Structure 1
Amino acid sequence: MDPLDPTVVTPILFIAAHFLTAAGVWLYRRRRARHADERDRVQKKTFTKWVNKHLIKVRKHITDLYEDLRDGHNLISLLEVLSGVTLRKGVSTMRRVCVSRAPPLILTGGEEEDGDQGNVQIALDFLKQRQVKLVNIRNDDITDGNPKLTLGLIWTIILHFQSEMMDQTLSLVTEHIIYWK
């Protein structure tokens, strides 16, 4: 029997290639999962610092992004700081009391919701009224502490309010330039 006989070598090569491919896929998935875990850890830490940077204005602080946003109180406080608007809960409606230049909004909810989900829902309704797109983020995702969707919510808030702040800064600069001329 010739060791280089194609009838012997072909099945051996096929089995070896299959084994190496399976091992390679397993290693790739393991490495990718490790990188995803690291990315999530870094995002959580970064977003926690960003939230605390704003919550310090109302003497609040969070330590765990997923846990400390679950009851909705810190989320409402964050939105109040960022928007300059006070969110209040009414019996069948939620009213936004305006403390900024923006016109007041009335957020209508059906029946009043109690507990943590009600607080988170107030925050989500407020964001929707401001035309913030919340893709696949529901109040129970936040109250359950879902890491991916909590990170997604905070990222969406960052994008919305940072761009809004940039627009305000740009308009102030433009006003000063026009006044200066």
Structure 2
Amino acid sequence: FFLASTSEVYGDPDVHPQPETYNGNVNPIGPRGVYDESKRFAEAITMAYHRKHKIDTRIIRIFNTYGPRMRADDGRVVCNFLTQALNDQPLTIYGDGTQTRSFQFVDDLVEGIVRLMGVEYNLPVNLGNPYEFTMQELAKKVINLTGSKSQIRYLPLPQDDPRRRRPDISRAKALLDWEPRINLDEGLKKSLDYFKCVLLK
């Protein structure tokens, strides 16, 4: 049984970067709580089935992933920025833009999943890119890459939005001999080519 979990199980983390041993800082009744807690529960019940019924399980905690074939209206920040930039619309940043994320190209994620399925290991494994960028840095990269005339628009930061997010991938390195190969600049170029095709249809 394979569970695609998420870095959201760490909530707004007090530990940085986040190792799999960190139990997180999640507000269970906040506006993000339903998603965060549903994934935490999914991990708990997966481990319960593994212990009780000896089910062969794998749990991957996926950090921000992007790449071709994402929907333009997906709602995630890379999609939003590329779509807005290609339409010369303002790029929307929530808060002051100093919050960070780590962006993983989809090919690297798939490689990590394949490798995990080939080993016997049942505890969670982080899969993500350990290089973090602020939202301001990401927005500027997208504007420069697209040659857009877009400006940056700042809106209020949603409640419980994580200030920092970066995986500790020591476990994946040791267990899977895995680490991301595609950097953000290369991944954004690959994604841009796809988004241009989609938006020009």
Higher helix share: 1
Q: Same fold (TM over 0.5)?
A: no
TM-score range, shorter chain: under 0.3
TM-score (structure 1 length as normaliser): 0.27
TM-score (structure 2 length as normaliser): 0.25
